[in-house]
Structure 1
Amino acid sequence: MRADLGLYDYLPWPGRPKITWPGGKKLAVWIAPNIEFYEYDPPDNPTRTPWGRPNPDVLQYSHRDYGNRAGWQRMMAAMDRAGFRGSVSLNVALCDHHPEIIRACADRGWEFFSHGIYNTRYVYNMTADQEREIIRDAFDTVRKHTGQELAGWLSPALSNNLWTMDLLAEAGIRYTCDMFHDDQPMPVKVASGKLISMPYSLEMNDVIVYNSQKVTPRHYAEIIRRQFDQLYKDSDDSGMVMCIPLHPYLVGQPHRIDAFAEAIRYIARHDGVWQATGREIAEAYHASGAYDAMSAAAKGGR
């Protein structure tokens, strides 16, 4: 019986190699809008049902579709005003369903990383070859519609198999958002290649905050500010990463958008903040030698 996932080493802060971000910045802050497409009647998956109500679940489907109709525009405008580019956690089928959203993001220099094909199709019960095909499809679709090469991955509904990380690294993915164990990028143990876990966040994720914790927009803004204040202080010693994952159908609601907009303006006003994309953080991490230094420190501690 294995005691842990076996995907990363334990490496506490004391003695951990220092990370320095480009330009001497202290804290890398990236915003990850999940721009998604939910099928109202997806193929059955025996492990997980997408909808809690019988099909057609008009209520849940249309609520999520709000993000692709109105919510994304408010979210994008708020990010524009604060000077943030997005790293889009993309259900790649959206490229065919809503190319106008893809164009608006691409025109702003936003990054696209993969969140699967549809958010209603999980990798549970897939074979390794079937999962390879999903990864290949994501690369091809994003390249065709944006000209970008995928660097990052967030599995749909955070579904994984034991071989998922190996397949991502094999395909050339540079970072995964499927792990939540640290405030700095960390090496992931894979069969080949160099894959890192990128700090994403469940705590800052508007789905958790609004749908699970049931907080008010004002409280969500306070959560964002407090997360930032602590990580900004921690970054005096070594570069940290803060991520704000969003869903336009939630944060883009009229009664919520101003609180979010004020919170990211607060972050942008601070010196030493690197308003980055996930790809830029991963590239800087590798270029600085942090991957090799962290890997060596972890091995030395065993």
Structure 2
Amino acid sequence: MPLIDLIKHGRYAYSPITVRPHFSWPGGKRLALAICNNIEVFSFLSGLGSDNTTPNATQNTRNYAWRDYGNRVGQWYLFDLLDEYEFPTSHNINSLTFQECPQLIERIISRGDELIGHGRTNAERQDTLSEAEERALIAETTDTIRKATGQQPRGWMGPYFAQSPVTLDLLKEAGYTYVLDWPADDQPFWLSTRSGPLLSVPYSLEVNDSPAIVFRQHGATEYERMIIDQFDEMLLQSEKWPLVCTIITHPFVIGHPFRLRALRRAFAHIAACRDDVWLTTPGQVAAHFASVRPAA
């Protein structure tokens, strides 16, 4: 069979980590640690949504209620845990959360956390939309966050890690400065768009409670071990080059008490090393990297 030409995305060039220019995070730190939480709302008995007991399950009362537990209970447990360890946090936020769960927004703003655009709802994907429809989705999400906070959101994470061929172009044109959807690196890197450069900030697909626990069916203690092993190994690797370690949570997954207990142990492990790392958010990572390694 003849070989076919590889289809190229044209968004970035290959760059091995071993040949990149040196830089450091603030304070001379070598490892940046960011906790990235996802706050999502879903449509009842319709659209998309996760199920923790049956792969590819249809939307039903049980899985809707299981996800709703995250916003009603699990996220509040998680807020308290984050407060206990004084960890800065970012939240990938569905814009309909502002309407459906206003108290969550009030707590996020009072904590001073970063809000990252995450579409309208995780009952839909943006890569199935036309360019005009996707532009409208991005505008609606952006306007909702801006009106509530008085600030333009800088970062975007598409529902289900999904992007269309023009998502990056539309985000750049809407005023975004970085995205989390390209898990290709442990350092930020620049992406090309039709309107100029846009930064990709690391965001783990692996140390992520949704794919790990919901889809791969790992247990809570396995996820705890993933966090600790990822952190310890990246701290070691960061002696050679600066890295970004991200921990990804969803309150309807990690917010159940027995899983929260495992997360608490992982947080305690990280907190014991807090003087060795830069505890930060994706937005701060993006801003610092852009200042020391601006786009060519």
- Equivalent position of 1:78 in the other structure: 81
Paired residues for 1:44-55 under 5 Å: 50=49, 52-54=56-58
1:225 aligns with 2:225: no
CA contact (8 A) 2:32 2:245 kept: yes
Among 28, 32, 36, the residue aligned to 1:32:
36
Among 95, 98, 115, the residue aligned to 2:118:
115
- Equivalent position of 1:202 in the other structure: 205
- Equivalent position of 2:277 in the other structure: 273
User: Any idea what the Cα deviations from partners look like across 1:145-171, whole Å, max 9, x if unmatched?
Assistant: 122321111111222211111111121
- Equivalent position of 2:103 in the other structure: 100
CA contact (8 A) 1:42 1:121 kept: no
Any gaps of 5 or more consecutive residues in structure 2?
A: 51-55
Amino acid at match of 1:278: P
State the distance in 2 between where 1:131 and 1:236 align: 41
Amino acid at match of 1:241: V
1:244 aligns with 2:241: no
Paired residues for 1:9-20 under 5 Å: 9-20=13-24
CA contact (8 A) 2:45 2:64 kept: no
User: Any idea what the Cα deviations from partners look like across 1:61-99, whole Å, max 9, x if unmatched?
Assistant: 111000001100111111111221211010011001011
Q: 1:7 deviation in Å?
A: 2.0
Amino acid at match of 1:14: T
State the distance in 2 between where 1:181 and 1:124 align: 19
TM-score (norm 2): 0.92
1:67 aligns with 2:64: no
- Equivalent position of 1:172 in the other structure: 175
Amino acid at match of 1:108: R
- Equivalent position of 2:61 in the other structure: 58
SS in 1 for 2:145: helix
State the distance in 1 between where 2:214 and 2:49 align: 16
- Equivalent position of 1:286 in the other structure: 290
SS in 2 for 1:92: coil
TM-score (norm 1): 0.90
State the distance in 2 between where 1:124 and 1:241 align: 27
User: Any idea what the Cα deviations from partners look like across 1:23-74, whole Å, max 9, x if unmatched?
Assistant: 112111111110000111446xxxxx5574455x101111100000110011
CA contact (8 A) 1:139 1:150 kept: yes
Q: 1:193 deviation in Å?
A: 2.8
- Identity of paired residues, percent? 34
SS in 1 for 2:124: coil
- Equivalent position of 2:265 in the other structure: 262
Change (3 A) 1:191 1:262: same
CA contact (8 A) 2:169 2:193 kept: yes
RMSD: 1.6
Amino acid at match of 1:204: V
User: Any idea what the Cα deviations from partners look like across 1:107-159, whole Å, max 9, x if unmatched?
Assistant: 00100001100111212332212211111111110011122321111111222
Any gaps of 5 or more consecutive residues in structure 1?
A: 44-48, 296-302
Change (3 A) 1:9 1:202: same
- Equivalent position of 2:143 in the other structure: 140
Larger displacement relative to structure 2 (185-194 or 252-261): 185-194
State the distance in 2 between where 1:214 and 1:50 align: 16
CA contact (8 A) 1:128 1:163 kept: yes
User: Any idea what the Cα deviations from partners look like across 1:206-234, whole Å, max 9, x if unmatched?
Assistant: 01121122222222111101101111112
State the distance in 2 between where 1:124 and 1:186 align: 22
CA contact (8 A) 1:123 1:131 kept: yes
- Equivalent position of 1:46 in the other structure: none
CA contact (8 A) 1:170 1:193 kept: no
CA contact (8 A) 1:206 1:247 kept: yes
State the distance in 2 between where 1:272 and 1:105 align: 26
1:158 aligns with 2:161: yes
Q: 1:268 deviation in Å?
A: 2.3
CA contact (8 A) 1:221 1:259 kept: yes
SS in 2 for 1:14: helix
Q: 1:256 deviation in Å?
A: 0.9
